[in-house]
Structure 1
Amino acid sequence: MKKWMLLMVAALMLVLAACSEKEESTENKEAQTVTYESETGPVEVPANPQRVVVLSSYAGDLIKLGVNIVGVDAWSAGNPNFTEELKDAEVVTNEDLEKIIELEPDLIIGLNNIENADKLKEIAPTVLFTYGGVDYLQQHIEVGKAVNKEKEATAWVEDFKARAQGIGEKIKAEIGEEATITVAENYDKQIYLFGDNWGRGTEILYQEMGLKMPQQVIDVALEPGYFAISQEVLGDYVGDYLLLNLITEGQDTTFTDSTWYNEIDAVKNGQVFEANGATFYFNDAFSLDYQLDFFENAFLGTN
């Protein structure tokens, strides 16, 4: 083969190799990211996020999905159930921009009403959710989509619904179909009553298990989600059972020793379940599993 032909063949091979490398590089880049269709538009997110900052109540969803969290909000950090999983995570807020930069996140998750959202988007891909924008189980799936784990999230949701409804049927067989339960929480010398979609175990009790809420609570708390009352009138709203989410840190819980409290029928009948309020705030997947175990043991004594 003549020299000039050899040179042309060599040049052609170099061009083909360069094109192949460019195509491979493009494919690799596309494989490293996926598009999440958020409520505010498409967001390019890592296909396998390694360093996530979560500035809201979704830490438990990420823990359940096995996603590494490097920065977390103070409320989640204060949940005793998350202590082990978040032991290496830094507590941050949406205002701690420099601290977040130092964490080198590849994804940020938060609520859509936070300040500095535009600045956060400059640090890493940012997905923001509206609290209550979708139902609590679909929310876990949405978080799963944002971290490219929709299949795992959907499988958990289907399993959870089956477990919760099954346990609910056993509980209703034990306490009766018409038995009512009130969900309450103490804070700042008031008592908060809750509807069926404000965390605190309400989604499990009322939505999945189909347990009944007293009419007095329906009247004041179902639509807004929660309702504050004076401590002394709690008895007017308590049904056959009371789930009392006690907040102990910085709060006065001596009302449980008062005469008026101990005269409530549910208290006198031993039908009060006290829970650690800090473990019942949220309705993420990790918390829901914990709460479901709590209810199974409280009503059925199976654990």
Structure 2
Amino acid sequence: MGPTLRALLAGLAALLVLAGCSGGDESSGGGGGGGTRTVESERGPVQVPAAPQRIAVLSGGLAGDLFTLEAPVVAADPRVLGVQNDASGFPPSWSARAQQQGTQRLASEGAGLSIEQVAAARPDLIIGGGQGFTAAQAANAYPQLQQIAPTVLLPAFTQWQDQLTRIADVVGRSDRVPGLLQAYQDRAAQVRGALRVPPQPTVFLYQSRDGKSYVITPTAALPAIARDLGFTPDDVITKANNPPLFGTGDSFEVSPELLPRVADAPTAVYVPIGTQPLAQVAANPVYARLPAFSSGQVYEVPSTSFRPDYQGAMSTLDAFATQFR
């Protein structure tokens, strides 16, 4: 631990002592208050502020739900899979809210987690975990993060509803969840009523940056949203003979030789998380001979549809409404 970090941690400890002496009655706006509560974490129960006022979130995939819940985010990792940040350095879906709150951008562009930067933000709660390499970064740094503030590591959720509900519990805003879930159900019903559902079943695909082909599992978030709209995700697991799953289990790699057998559904939905747009992939002979591609029944949805937060789920509904009207 370097001298800069020691000084930051020492200063933070002094602030926490002063806060404890104050009786926990002070808050920094937004209807806060004193007291603590115990929540579940991947490392066991953690005592967190009942109404946190300075949250540092170490995963861009989790940050969007905090902004949706109108939680006070003092610092956030801005990296979201497949998303190019705007001029502010934040993802477009929550850039305006981050700037309005004065949220600090944590290290990005391939840099590792900076403990000094997290400590400098003086958070009263740290949230990490979720999906992707940022979850591993937070897990590796957990002992140091605990010295800064109560740290909650969340599991890798496969459904956005579970993620939203858990985050809301951690930050004491569970009362907002029913209304958000109802808004999704209402919008899904509206979209479904106006859709022209193409021939079923549907296969869900993406291509990684290195050109490898991946198929999304039927139980992942995107196929689940499509199912809410009347689509039938194809049983690609059986067609691929129960392949090893990638990452958190929401997709698996398929060789060019096996792809025609696994992705033979009459309709396909493509997610451009590897930055290659549908037009470019469709020109690839491996894909061009797939039934959905050859018949013109392949459709592109935003990259945020693959592992969506709440706003990603809502934008996916909008994308289906546009593609299948």
Normalising by structure 1, report the TM-score.
0.75
* Equivalence for 1:209: 229
Deviation at 1:37, TM superposition (A): 1.9
Code of the aligned partner of 1:107: L
* Equivalence for 2:202: 181
* Equivalence for 1:28: 25
* Equivalence for 2:4: none
Are the equivalent residues in 1 in contact too, given 2:218–2:234 (CA < 8 A)? no
User: Which of the pair is proportionally richer in strand?
Assistant: 1
- In structure 1, the gaps of 5 or more residues are 1-24
* Equivalence for 2:271: 245
Q: What is the DSSP-based 3-state SS (H/G/I as helix, E as strand, rest coil) of the residue aligned with 1:57? A: helix
Q: What is the DSSP-based 3-state SS (H/G/I as helix, E as strand, rest coil) of the residue aligned with 1:148? A: coil
2:114 to 71, 96, 99: 96
Aligned sequence identity (%): 19
Per-residue deviation, residues 178-224 of structure 1 (Å, max 9, x unmatched): 7111111101221110113444x233113x33521223445447984
Are the equivalent residues in 2 in contact too, given 1:34–1:148 (CA < 8 A)? no
* CA-atom RMSD in angstroms: 3.3
Q: Give me the whole-angstrom Cα distance separating, in 2, the residues matched to 1:94 and 1:280.
A: 26
Are the equivalent residues in 1 in contact too, given 2:38–2:46 (CA < 8 A)? yes
Larger radius of gyration: 1
* Equivalence for 1:108: 126
1:1-303 matched pairs, under 5 angstroms:
26=23, 28=25, 31-39=33-41, 40-45=44-49, 47-55=51-59, 57-73=61-77, 75-76=79-80, 79-80=83-84, 82-83=91-92, 84-85=95-96, 86=98, 89-92=104-107, 95-111=113-129, 114-132=139-157, 135-168=159-192, 170-171=194-195, 174-175=196-197, 179-187=200-208, 188-199=210-221, 201-206=222-227, 208-209=228-229, 211-220=231-240, 224-231=249-256, 233-236=258-261, 237-249=263-275, 254-277=280-303, 279-300=304-325
Code of the aligned partner of 1:156: L
Q: Give me the whole-angstrom Cα distance separating, in 1, the residues matched to 2:141 and 2:127.
A: 13
- May I ask how many residue pairs the two structures share in their alignment? 270
Q: Give me the whole-angstrom Cα distance separating, in 1, the residues matched to 2:320 and 2:159.
A: 21
Per-residue deviation, residues 53-83 of structure 1 (Å, max 9, x unmatched): 3335211211211234343335328634823
Deviation at 1:169, TM superposition (A): 5.4
Are the equivalent residues in 1 in contact too, given 2:159–2:220 (CA < 8 A)? no
